[in-house]
A and B are shown apart, each in its own frame.
Chain A
Amino acid sequence: MAGDIVEIVLRAVCVLAAFLVLPLLVGQTEHKVMAHMQGRLGPMEAGGFHGWAQLVADGIKFSQKEDIVPLAADKRVFRIAPALGIVSYLFALAVIPLGPHTVGADVPGSLVWVLAVGGIGTVGTLMAGWGSGNKYSLLGGLRTAAQLVSYELPLILACASFAIAAGSLSLVGIAHAWTPWWLLWQLPGALVFLVAATAELQRPPFDMPVADSELVMGPYTEYTGLRFALFLLAEYAGIVVMSLLLGVLYLGGWTGPFDHQIGWLWTLLKGAIFAVLIIWIRVAWPRLREDQLQRVAWLGLVPLALLQLAITAIGVVVTSR
């Protein structure tokens, strides 16, 4: 019994450590990749070597700022909102496997779990928009809601395609069932997942909710200091979760040469590919207008995801005969 508790605590600490380190790595990668894509160098001073400690310095700066709650705000909702956003991705990260046994919590229906807790983060953003007592925040929050309702559907449909192809709702099971044929067979589903995940994270080009020229900073307008930093951390944790998820679903997770020894490295590497892709998309593409955003979801991604679902279903029926 005591051994179980120790193991649970150890696993939780490991997940928490990954949760705190990986988003910083993604953030630093974004700083550097975006800078070089724009002909700049990015942070070069903090920490000495190529500004490696820039995000640590940012965090220290945020923690020193005054914690301001607007007078008109719904104070408790305003305070809880950032925690909700960040906890959802922490829960999601806990069940994403790095290897067949390297997983924070081995849940049977881990894919369902990830999709379910991923929705909680949305509620956090909605609460931030509503609780700020600011019209820009409210508009941003409503845009967030509209966007996430639209893109949750293709995201779930794409995930369903992977689950049907593998015949399992467990991420470990899906990665075990993976074959190189999936690269072709599940390609539309992966594209849908990537676009929907980027939209889900409200990253450019899908950052209508925080469109700074119209809505100041959307739901985050009134936030400052650590609470704002938590929202930022949640965004980058979201990239980590979505990238690792797509790496496990579409690229087979730990599958690769020497995967008995360095399987976890393969998963991280495959996740990193998608993280860089999400950063790259942000740099290269212009922001969508609000109506274009909805068009892409309902007229582009949903039919494509349904098509993928049909292809997968036919494929499974034909091959299992």
Chain B
Amino acid sequence: MTKFLSGLAKGMATTARTMTTHAHTQQYPHVKPELPSRSRGVIALLEENCTSCMLCARECPDWCIYIDSHKETTPPTTEGGRARQHNVLDRFAIDFSLCMYCGICIEVCPFDALFWSPEFEYSTTDIRDLLQEKETLGQWMPTVPAPEPLVPELPQTEAQQLVVDVEPEDDPAAGRTTKRGAGEVPRPGTEEQP
């Protein structure tokens, strides 16, 4: 009986305490959420980096990446030189109605053309409108956050030093971390080794 009554009292106390603390509700449309930079919101495309190598389209588990390209020939710049060919990207589209946000395309891209962005407000009223072309994918590039330091507690330079100390040559983890935003984070080892 006393256990029963104390349980009732405890219930009242807990609810009263909860009432005096702040609510957990986020008022989403009015207040935008602060998402961590690792959020998998949408895949952004940096078109200049894309070489139409098709790796992402081939690795995509549900084949939601569409790439069209053609070859263009650059005439030789010097007399007697060789004409060079390069790929020109005509179409790069991701169908977000199929995409399962696995991120393999981003992992596999050797040229850092694809990035995760925390942007998530791109729902549509028609499923067909979720097929986003390269213009739209490119518009999400400014929303891509700067890469986080490798070890969060340490300042950026120390974090890089740590990676160098642990594994100078072929650490797969170090190689992957440099992949995101190669412009900001120098490849480990390049500072010391000439």
Contacts and interface: CB of A to CB of B under 8 A. Distances in A.
Interface in B8-52: 8, 11-12, 14-16, 18-19, 21, 23-25, 27
Interface residues of B, number: 13
A36 interface: yes
A44 B23 CA distance: 13
B97 to A, nearest CB: 30
Bin the interface of chain A by size. 10 to 19
A39 B15 contact: no
Interface in A30-70: 33, 35-41, 44
Nearest to B11: A284
Contact of A36 (B8, B11, B14, B23): B23
Given A44-B27, A284-B15, A39 B21 contact: yes
A280 B23 contact: no
B15 A37 contact: yes
Interface string A1-44: 00000000000000000000000000000000101111111001
Contacts of A285: 8, 11
A33 B15 CA distance: 10
B45 to A, nearest CB: 37
B150 to A, nearest CB: 36
Contacts of B19: 33, 36-37
Contacts of B15: 37-38, 280, 283-284
Contacts of B18: 36-39
Contacts of A33: 19
Interface of B: 8, 11-12, 14-16, 18-19, 21, 23-25, 27
Given A40-B23, A284-B11, 10 more contacts: A38-B18, A41-B23, A41-B25, A41-B27, A280-B16, A284-B12, A284-B14, A284-B15, A285-B8, A285-B11
Interface of A: 33, 35-41, 44, 280-281, 283-285
